[in-house]
Amino acid sequence: MNWTDVVDLVIKGNNREVEHVLKNYPYIPAIAEDLRKKKLQVLEDLPKYIQETMKNVEKLGGHAYLARDAEEARRIIGKIVGTKKTVVFSKSNVAYEIGLREFLQETGNDAWETDLGEYLVQLQNGWPAHIVAPAIDLTREDAATLVSRIDKNITKDSKIEDIVAAVRKFLMDKYLKADVGITGANAVAADSGSIALVENEGNIRIDSVLPQTHIAVTGIDKIVPTLPDALNEIYVQSAYAGLFPPTYINITSGPSSTGDIELKRVSPATGPKDFHLVLIDNGRLNASRDENIKEALLCIKCGRCYLACPVYRAIGKEWISTKSPYGGPTGVMWNYITNNDPWPASFCMHSGGCSEVCPMKIDIPTVIREIKSRGNRSLV
Amino acid sequence: MDEKAIIKELPAIRKLVYGNLMETYLPFPIDLKASSRWAVEADVPRDTDSIIFTSHMYQMGSMFKNYEKYIPLFTKLGGSRMIASVGSRLIRTDKSEVERSNRILKNIYSMLLKSGINCGYLYEDEPYSGSLLLELGFIDEFMEYGRKLLSLFRSRGVKNIYTVDPHTTNSLTNLKKMIGFDIKFAPYLNAISGTNGSGKFVLHDSCLYSRFLGMYNDVRLAAKNAGIELLENPDVTGKSTSFCCGGPIGPINAEMSSKVASLRVKQLNTVSDSILVVCPLCYENLSEFGNVKDIAEVMA
């Protein structure tokens, strides 16, 4: 199957799944509407919410950092991780954005992606083709060829179940050796300093509990006012990704702790002894102050807009995702915010499907038109 | 994605299109007599305060695609107007295409008349809407040209405009927001009544009508009222599932434009071999790959 056939099947499947979810869980659109308001509220005074979040992470016994750009973020995380460590990553677009895995490998660490799709992308030494399903462009044969590099029992004819089992076996060894687990965060609650993560595979749960150090790296745009808002972001993201209810929802509030003796809460307990939250700006604060771009920060990265876009349908990750983890229509906005690159906007056909399917009701075509226009203005 | 080519091409396209528009009200040199022949044949009055505004879209439909082929050449030569005028001699619209656009425009005019709407036409003075500037993201230039356009309409005493295509309707909608374009306008599909039509089609929605101008249901109603049967499939013709004909990317990347068009036709053909469109540019892009009719060809 070629790319356009694959993506056509994915699009049909996603449309049906989302339709089914919204029919069976009719409260989702109202939650999405409320979430939009809450996220806009944060964008009105992002510095205040960053400060509140960091203060509450520290209160929980964790450590919070604000990195202005990718370089500063790598420096902070590099210092926490050190060298010669085994590091397990859950799928994090922000980690891609700042080139974190490569950086940690270059500084002498054994770093592995643990989300199956992302792991295949790592073996491929490529870029994710979709924000939720990174290996969407790989067939069973492609996956088998890649996995045969780490397990000689896998051949081109191997079944999907056998490929998955081989990866599981390989990663289990890494999990048990891991010193550091690095995750992203789907949402960060300012009022509690908690992070919320959604997944289906179970790798995030292991990455965030088994290694003795947990580092969560995410953008300041992920901050929401309260813990219930953070959970709402999880519900909306998974519903519009067509994966609802999600298999696992993880809430992490600081390092592991126990109150079993005299109800005195002490830390650490069984899980990580250290928890670090690294918040990344990298263009987001400026965007929050830019009335014409600000809406892009409402994106919850469900990836639905990709599937409603004719350009993505035609060329997939070749559009943007060979230089940024963000692709599709939202990637045009996010590549501009994080890389100051307006040119992918020139390919927008203003088909308008992106804003039709966006749960956050972001006026994506108007933001893209603004980016297109800024690019054009810069031309002599 | 070849960004270097885009960065090279865009200034040339701007120079060519914007330069031509500010001087002649047209994006490319075209034969104005030929463009207004339909109105001569239909005996459309001049100097009326209500006008039909074709923006030369049906007349230029095929020329747009032809000019796209020459964009790399214009880029090499810096997008000068001299080259554009040479282009006008090289690029001619096929005779049958001219006859087809004449038939469509005469029919649209006749449907408006039948609906009790009397309107005239600006003939050789008819301008282009500027939609190409808007869609390519030349917003400053679009607004500047929009002011010129508004002045022209005002100087001709125009008070009501009936548009015939989504790109022009969208341009005027944006000019209303951006520069306070204050002349009333309406797409002809929303103004006509008592029409008769026939046939069974799958509708390829115009992105602009359905998702930007709130006309997803209006277009269906216009077809249904005329007796045209539209075959629907939620994966193909839904408001959020249908997609572009590829036309707008043509000036930037003709290859991708064709790729999107062929994908769209392949998808539409899973519902029906007969495709109905409501936009001259959708017709140009899709008809290369399938059997396409404009709605004004199947109702009267």
pLDDT digit string, tens, across residues A348-358: 999 999 999 99
The last residue of one of the domains, among B190, B218, B253, is: B190
Minimal C-alpha gap between B170 and chain A (Å) = 12
Residues of B with Cβ-Cβ distance to A292 under 8 angstroms: none
Asked if B241 lies within 8 A of A352 by C-beta distance, the reply is no
Domain that holds residue B173: 3-190
**Contacts with A, B 216-255, CB within 8 Å:** 234-235, 238-244, 246-249, 252-253
Based on the domain organization, do B287 and B174 belong to the same domain?
Answer: no
Residues of A with Cβ-Cβ distance to B239 under 8 angstroms: 356
A–B interface: beta-carbon pairs under 8 A? 111
B188 three-state secondary structure: helix
In this prediction, residue A104 has a pLDDT band, given cuts at 50, 70 and 90, of very high
Measured CA to CA, the distance from residue B46 to residue B52 in angstroms comes to: 11
Fold of the A11-282 domain: Rossmann fold (3.40.50)
Based on the domain organization, do B224 and B161 belong to the same domain?
Answer: no
Q: Find the closest chain A residue to B235 by CA distance.
A: A12
Based on the domain organization, do B90 and B36 belong to the same domain?
Answer: yes
Q: What is the mean pLDDT of residues A12-32?
A: 96
Based on the domain organization, do B163 and B204 belong to the same domain?
Answer: no
Based on the domain organization, do B132 and B56 belong to the same domain?
Answer: yes
Domains of chain B: total? 2
Measured CA to CA, the distance from residue A149 to residue A167 in angstroms comes to: 11
Asked if B1 lies within 8 A of A347 by C-beta distance, the reply is yes
Minimal C-alpha gap between B25 and chain A (Å) = 22
Minimal C-alpha gap between B260 and chain A (Å) = 6
As averages over each run of 10 residues, the pLDDT of chain B (300 residues) reads: 83 90 91 92 96 95 70 61 53 80 97 96 96 95 98 98 98 98 98 96 98 98 97 96 93 91 97 98 96 98
pLDDT score at A180? 98
pLDDT score at A172? 96
The CATH 1.10.1060.10 domain(s) of chain A lie at 292-377
| pLDDT per residue as tens digits for the range A163-183 | 999 999 999 999 999 999 999
Based on the domain organization, do B199 and B185 belong to the same domain?
Answer: no
Minimal C-alpha gap between B169 and chain A (Å) = 15
Give this complex's ipTM: 0.93
Query: Beta strand A187-189 with A195-199: parallel, antiparallel or unpaired?
Result: antiparallel
In this prediction, residue A284 has a pLDDT band, given cuts at 50, 70 and 90, of very high
Residues of B with Cβ-Cβ distance to A346 under 8 angstroms: 3, 6, 10, 136-137, 252
Residues 6+ apart with CB under 8 A from A342: A336, A371, A372, A374, A375, A378
Closest Cα to residue B254, out of B292, B284, B211, B278? B284
Based on the domain organization, do B102 and B147 belong to the same domain?
Answer: yes
Measured CA to CA, the distance from residue A254 to residue A261 in angstroms comes to: 19
Task: Name the CATH code of domain A292-377 (choices 1.10.3080.10, 1.10.3720.10, 1.10.1060.10, 2.40.37.10).
Answer: 1.10.1060.10
Share of chain A above pLDDT 90, in %: 96
Residue B229: give its domain's CATH number.
3.40.50
Based on the domain organization, do B60 and B179 belong to the same domain?
Answer: yes
pLDDT score at B71? 66
Asked if B249 lies within 8 A of A343 by C-beta distance, the reply is no
pLDDT score at B82? 47
Measured CA to CA, the distance from residue A151 to residue A132 in angstroms comes to: 26
Asked if B10 lies within 8 A of A347 by C-beta distance, the reply is no
pLDDT score at A297? 98
Asked if B252 lies within 8 A of A11 by C-beta distance, the reply is no
Residues of A with Cβ-Cβ distance to B6 under 8 angstroms: 343, 346-347
Based on the domain organization, do B43 and B183 belong to the same domain?
Answer: yes
| Least confident window among A131-135, A186-190, B19-23, B61-65 | B61-65
Asked if A352 lies within 8 A of B207 by C-beta distance, the reply is yes
Residue ranges of E strands in chain B: 50-53, 160-163, 184-187, 200-203, 229-230, 274-277, 291-294
pLDDT score at B44? 98
Report cis status (omega within 30 of 0) of the bond before A245. Answer: yes
The answer to whether B136 contacts chain A (CB < 8 Å) is yes
Q: Find the closest chain A residue to B240 by CA distance.
A: A353
Minimal C-alpha gap between B13 and chain A (Å) = 11
Asked if B137 lies within 8 A of A347 by C-beta distance, the reply is no
Asked if A12 lies within 8 A of B210 by C-beta distance, the reply is no
Residues of B with Cβ-Cβ distance to A353 under 8 angstroms: 207, 211, 240-243
The last residue of one of the domains, among B159, B190, B221, is: B190
Minimal C-alpha gap between A353 and chain B (Å) = 5
Minimal C-alpha gap between A12 and chain B (Å) = 7
Based on the domain organization, do B125 and B23 belong to the same domain?
Answer: yes
Report cis status (omega within 30 of 0) of the bond before B234. Answer: no
pLDDT score at B4? 84
Based on the domain organization, do B209 and B168 belong to the same domain?
Answer: no
Contact by Cβ (8 Å): A111, A105:
yes
Residues of A with Cβ-Cβ distance to B259 under 8 angstroms: 314-315
Based on the domain organization, do B215 and B178 belong to the same domain?
Answer: no
The CATH 3.40.50.10420 domain(s) of chain A lie at 11-282
